[in-house]
Structure 1
Amino acid sequence: MATSVPDPTRQLNKATVSSAYALFMLMLAEERGIADADILANTGVTRAKLEEPDARITPLQQAAIVFNLLGKTNDPSIAIEIGLRSSLTKSGMIGFGLMSCATLGEAIQLGIRYLPTRVPFFSIRLTELEHTVQIDILEAFPLGRLRQFAVENFMVETAILFNSLLTPSHDRTMKANAELCFEWPEPPYFARYRDRLPRCHFDAPANQIRCEAALLDEPIKTANAQTAQMIVQQCEAELARLGYAESIVERVRNLLIRGSDGYPSLDALARELHLSERTLKRKLSDYGTTYSALLDEIRLRDALRLLEGTQLTVEEIAVRVGYTDRANFSRAFRRWTGASPSSRR
């Protein structure tokens, strides 16, 4: 049986990232006296191209811009700075869609659904617990050295955008009722941002945003059902244009999130998708894949993330991705990649 593994090349070279983010970085660099040419060096991108209507660049080009920005500023805290300066209007059509939703819960669901129309770097999983909502931030493909920058920026921006939808006078805000959880140790620059963010936890088991479940019912004062419907139609068309129309394969990938009991079984996925196991197997087969192949794909993605972005031992990572010992994990990893896990450190 062939094993399916991630093929990030197609995603990385496809123009799916809104140019708004690169333009904002150019503005931030200009404020610090850094020329456009320094930030756009060796990216294959020009400012004129970025300023074209609905312009998009590839994830690789966006990554090169971020590397240049970090190199010229020598300031890793710029990820948080960019996130704090986010606004709904900068978020394009999604921003207006969020403003048009009736409640924060609806806005979060809309944001998750149409995130790929802005940035393709993350896959989001929302879990509603008894009193808490848990939003897992997962890499759509390994981000390597940009992982901490990308996750910090995205999580701070998300908290700021959703917070801006709520009425501060009600004291029912993301800042007061949410938590940000990061997998790495607290960075030295975090202290100066502490008072501007929700409560943050470091060395956490996963990158997550958590908030009180009751917050999902908070109304949005700019709600407009007709506008929301129009924007949903436009965003659906944009998803299809960018090739993100969600297939059963993508739905299964998005549900294959490791929890306290491991990765979901085929039976659990079928129940979540309101299908029988037999029907789910057939639908996956129609796309030339299987549950086992997709599980291996997700295990490899998670293993690469942990190998490249954490200090966990190979034994600890083996357990995290569902193997009982290092030997079995190493054999599987070599089958997927042709190399040992330690070679990716």
Structure 2
Amino acid sequence: MARQPQRFYSTIAAWPLAIARALEQRGIDPAPLFSQAGIDRLQLQQNPDGRVAIDHMSQLWQLSEAATGDSSFGLSLADFAQPMHFRALGLVVMTCDSMLQAIEKLAEYHALVSDTVNVRLVHQPGRVGFVVDPLADVYTSPMASEAFFATMVRFSQQLSGADQLVAGAELVRPAPADPAPWQQVFGSPLRFAAPTNCLWFSRAGLAAARVMGNAELRQANENEVRRYLAGLQALGWQARVEQSILTLLVAGEPSLADIAARLGIGERSLRRYLAAENTSFRECLQRARQQLACRLLQQGVAVAEVAHRTGFSDSSNFSRAFQRWTGMKPGQYHDPDIMASPD
């Protein structure tokens, strides 16, 4: 039985192009780094709607950090990324009625920027959190989320003219020796080694901060964003559900209620949306478990640990399920000398 193809995770061309400009400002030639990361800068300049595979992008972040010797390098990208660089999504943000609506649109259509994370908004009495949850099976550099957060801070200042919108941040990276660069961008409170990345905004500030406010232009550009994402198959409910499941599996098997709450919709609606795509929550759960299991096995993780991390009670149950999914035993899957077919 042939193995299922791995999903292609990617990010928009705006990020590597901004990295190139940031490196050049520091007197560093980006060409060798782009070549080493397998990214064609000229091709991206000619096709700004293009995408970059996340593996290549993560390598470019790592190379850039090594070249600059600066773990806060991602923050500097806010100087080189403008709303227009994010194509139709940037125009959507620019034509919202308020910054609160703008960050809601960024959360809704985040996959245009990168489909390697889940984004959700957390609403509290005095503040709103823009939360970026990394997918459990995809590595992304901490600098990627920090660059996006720093860019959001800059966008909010440019579009609204307000300086007091950001109310702190939580970052997954370990506490750096010198937190000053992050404090300068995000203010306080600032927390490192957090379970996820969250940029906090003042609720009152967001509601009061007016933007351009053109409903007709916003709708036209939202339609363009939807067309773009439909081409990436990034807006499907199946994809959203499976990404959410992958994120939560490490803490135990999530329920339909857990995923519905995470996506901000009712359970009945989620069932209906999945049915419209000819699937179900149970099927999404099984696909997500299979995807994570295959990736972990390829990484050489022990079968017992894979069983635990994919929500199985023991290795025997996991092995039977894995054979049902793939037609082979878990031990065969990561052995290149064994054919991927049943005995």
Normalising by the residue count of structure 1, what TM-score does the alignment of the two structures yield? 0.71
**Residues 72 and 118 of structure 1: is their aligned pair in 2 closer, same or farther, counting only changes over 3 Å?**
same
The answer to whether residue 229 in structure 2 is matched with residue 235 in structure 1 is no
% same residue: 19
For 1:82, give the aligned amino acid.
L
Instruction: Please give the alpha-carbon distance, in whole angstroms, between the structure 2 residues aligned to 1:62 and 1:153.
Output: 13
Deviations 1:112-153 (A, max 9, x none): 222222322322012324444233211246454x53222322
2:73 is aligned, of 74, 78, 96, to: 78
State the partner residue of 1:9: 6
State the partner residue of 2:13: 19
The answer to whether residue 214 in structure 2 is matched with residue 224 in structure 1 is yes
The answer to whether residue 121 in structure 2 is matched with residue 126 in structure 1 is yes
Alignment of 1:77-116 (within 5 A): 77-83=72-78, 85-116=80-111
After superposing the two structures, state which structure 1 stretch, 105-114 or 187-196, moved more. 187-196
Shift of 1:208: 1.6
Instruction: Please give the alpha-carbon distance, in whole angstroms, between the structure 1 residues aligned to 2:314 and 2:76.
Output: 39
State the partner residue of 2:35: 41
Shift of 1:111: 1.0
Shift of 1:95: 1.8
Instruction: Please give the alpha-carbon distance, in whole angstroms, between the structure 1 residues aligned to 2:62 and 2:269.
Output: 46
Instruction: Please give the alpha-carbon distance, in whole angstroms, between the structure 2 residues aligned to 1:299 and 1:202.
Output: 27
The answer to whether residue 152 in structure 2 is matched with residue 147 in structure 1 is no
Q: Secondary structure at the match of 2:7?
A: helix
Q: Secondary structure at the match of 1:236?
A: helix
1:174 is aligned, of 161, 165, 171, to: 165
Q: Secondary structure at the match of 1:51?
A: helix
Instruction: Please give the alpha-carbon distance, in whole angstroms, between the structure 2 residues aligned to 1:274 and 1:22.
Output: 39
CA-atom RMSD in angstroms:
4.1
Normalising by the residue count of structure 2, what TM-score does the alignment of the two structures yield? 0.71
Contact 2:100 2:207 in 1 (8 A): yes
Shift of 1:232: 0.7
2:62 is aligned, of 57, 61, 67, to: 67
Contact 2:97 2:214 in 1 (8 A): yes
Deviations 1:279-325 (A, max 9, x none): 57856763695254266479879x99xxx9xxxxxx9xx8xx797xx
Instruction: Please give the alpha-carbon distance, in whole angstroms, between the structure 1 residues aligned to 2:223 and 2:88.
Output: 11
Instruction: Please give the alpha-carbon distance, in whole angstroms, between the structure 1 residues aligned to 2:100 and 2:187.
Output: 18
Shift of 1:249: 1.3
Give the unaligned 5+ runs of structure 2. 323-328, 332-343
State the partner residue of 1:213: 203
**Residues 19 and 64 of structure 1: is their aligned pair in 2 closer, same or farther, counting only changes over 3 Å?**
same
For 1:152, give the aligned amino acid.
E
Shift of 1:216: 4.2
For 1:34, give the aligned amino acid.
I
Higher RCO (CA-CA < 8 Å; seq separation 6+): 1
Q: Secondary structure at the match of 1:203?
A: coil
Shift of 1:36: 3.5
For 1:28, give the aligned amino acid.
A
Instruction: Please give the alpha-carbon distance, in whole angstroms, between the structure 2 residues aligned to 1:291 and 1:193.
Output: 38
**Residues 253 and 162 of structure 1: is their aligned pair in 2 closer, same or farther, counting only changes over 3 Å?**
farther
Instruction: Please give the alpha-carbon distance, in whole angstroms, between the structure 2 residues aligned to 1:333 and 1:215.
Output: 50
Q: Secondary structure at the match of 2:201?
A: strand
Shift of 1:338: 4.9
Shift of 1:66: 2.4
Q: Secondary structure at the match of 1:183?
A: coil
